[in-house]
Chains A and B, each alone.
Chain A
Amino acid sequence: MNETIYPVAIFFAAIFTNNILLTNYLGMCSFLSVSKELKTSLGLGAAVTFVMATTTLLNWIVYHQLLIPLKLDYLRFIVFIIVIAAFVQLVEMIIERVSEGLYAALGIFLPLITVNCAILGVSLFMVIREYSLAASFAYGLGSGIGWSLAILAMAGIRQKLAKARVPKGLEGAGITLIITGMMALAFMGFTGMINIS
């Protein structure tokens, strides 16, 4: 286990210097389509953060307590996806029973989240980098917040963009990608902020 990497440092690094979307390119599909509206972006961001943090934790436990002792670690792709899908399903059912309001706000996002590559990606990175339990949770939570930050910023920009004149060929996905690129450039300015040692 990697004890030399501190969870707090990973938390901040996951938000800024190694943002799961702007640096690792994950979670693009829903990012591109949902970032048109600020309110929905907020909802999706919250849902993603919640699911990401919890499933990373769950997957760590499953991986280290179940898969490795049984020498089934090569099945982790399937198992992680099942854990994520099952968890999302469970959350959806609970929210539906418990709170109509919350379900109306977040419920529609949940199926979208199951196929969000960022969520599976975070679990896979955690395995490759051999994080401890605390570090994995920090990484999951931080990545979720980082993703939410990116989508909120994008939504804010796109609202202003609606009034600007964009070349026809760039409308929609094109201009969004260019803005994403610029955001990625901007976030690179955070490099050096985090000292992991």
Chain B
Amino acid sequence: MGKVKKVFLDPLGKNNPVFAQILGICSTLAVTNRLDNTVVMTLGVLFTTTLSSFTISLLRKYIPSRIRMMVETLIIASYVIVVDIVLRAYYPDIWKQLGPYVGLIITNCIIMGRAEAFAMSNPPGLSLIDGLASGIGYSYVLIAIAAVRELLGSGTLWGFTVFGDWWTNWAVMIMPPGAFFMLAVFIWVVKGSILKEEEEKK
């Protein structure tokens, strides 16, 4: 049980893939100007990360080492296509807004990274948890960024007006520079607290 806990908590905290390695932000950063789009995207990433880590771990003993990357890519791509198909059929409005970024989940370094680093050498149960945790760790960072961007940039949260007429929208927040700045601020805050912890330990 202890191992399960460790596997789960690790990617949520200091080893959060986004902070530690700035991995995989490409595909989602583009849609973080709206909270609802971001939630849907991160759910897609979560689904893909969890299931592909699980599947790859199940098959790990049979995958020939030479074609390892091709097999991993195939599996990841298949799950992403399923996400894309489901979104298009049941949530067409959101699907239109997400555009090509759903397909770009395939190139998300986190998913491939976890597959290589963990799923290939760990049992399916643990791999599932690792995938789940990495996905969650990824999600909350992007959701936090999206919340700030939408709030400051449009005065709304999930489409509901939060700031009234007194608020002048920070247009820069909706535009690309805003996303970069927000992510930088986030990293600054997190790294700052990690560094402080290390200072205090000394």
Contacts and interface: CB of A to CB of B under 8 A. Distances in A.
Q: Do any CB atoms of chain A lie under 8 A from CB atoms of chain B in the complex?
A: yes
Interface string B82-102: 001100000000000001100
Range for the number of chain B residues in contact with chain A = 35 or more
B99 A128 contact: yes
Interface string B1-37: 0000000000000000000001111110110000000
Nearest to B178: A181
A29 B26 contact: yes
B123 interface: no
A93 interface: no
Given A25-B29, A175-B184, A177-B187, A78 B107 contact: no
Interface of A: 22-29, 32, 74-78, 81, 85, 115-118, 120-121, 124-125, 127-128, 167-171, 173-175, 177-178, 180-182, 184-185, 188
B191 A174 contact: yes
Nearest to A24: B30
A174 B103 contact: no
Nearest to A121: B104
A29 B67 CA distance: 24
Looking at chain B's contact residues, the main secondary structure is helix
B66 to A, nearest CB: 12
Contacts of A75: 81
Contacts of B108: 117
A180 B73 contact: no
A120 B103 contact: yes
Contact of A124 (B78, B100, B187): B100
A59 to B, nearest CB: 12
Contacts of B178: 181
B106 interface: yes
B195 to A, nearest CB: 6
A29 B103 contact: no
A177 B81 CA distance: 30
B188 A174 contact: yes
A184 B26 contact: no
B187 A115 contact: no
B128 interface: no
B22 A181 contact: no
Nearest to B109: A29
Interface stretch (B55-63, B147-155, B160-168, B169-177): B169-177
22 contacts: A25-B29, A25-B179, A28-B25, A74-B85, A77-B81, A78-B77, A115-B107, A117-B104, A117-B107, A121-B104, A121-B107, A124-B103, A125-B99, A169-B192, A170-B188, A174-B188, A177-B184, A182-B177, A184-B176, A184-B177, A185-B172, A188-B177
